[in-house]
Amino acid sequence: MPLRKLSAGDQTLVQIVDAALSDANRKSGSWIVCRPGCTQCCIGAFAISQLDAARLQHGLAELARSEPERAAQVRSRARESVERLSAQFPGNPKTGVLDEGRRAERRFADFANDEPCPALDQASGTCDLYSSRPITCRAFGPPVRSEDGLGICELCFHGATEEQIAACEMEVDPDDLESALLKKMLDGGRGRTIIAFALAG
């Protein structure tokens, strides 16, 4: 995917989400076990927006200026991932854009569940693009509400009651700024992708 212009409002979105995460972590205390080296949430492909893709690409470009060897390793891991995943990719493997609809969602549910994120440095157990990570990554760990209810990382909140978990809920993007920013993108921010395709170009 070509390097896209990063939305001017993206920094505001990141600040909102990071503040919400900080607040949720403060309320959660020791129930949140996320630490450097815990990489369970870094395994398995998941859909990201074009805004996330642009942020990742800019993060990789910055890394290439400051640490070219490390950036080359990220890009190499991304290309290897794309090569492994292209044959079964539930979308267009040339553009990296995922198909939409219920059938596509069912295909994606069983897709690349064991694939490590190309931004993950498996030796250190840390993310090479941490400051540019997608919104999903920023919101993982604390309780987050979805259509299926309140979801949490399976490693967190052991021994907490449902009420205690609910009291730590993270409101990721309360004003849905992300949707507004996606609409303002050049092509309307259409089409979700995965991290490997965003970084392989």
At residue 50, the pLDDT reads 92
185 in Cβ contact with 107 (< 8 Å): no
Split at pLDDT 50, 70, 90, the class of 144 is very high
Q: Compute CA distances 184 → 5, 14, 30, 175, 197, whole Å.
A: 11, 17, 39, 16, 22
Average pLDDT, the chain: 92
- Mean pLDDT confidence for 11-18: 95
pLDDT(86) > 80: yes
At residue 183, the pLDDT reads 86
In angstroms, rounded to a whole number, what is the distance separating the alpha carbons of residues 57 and 6?
9
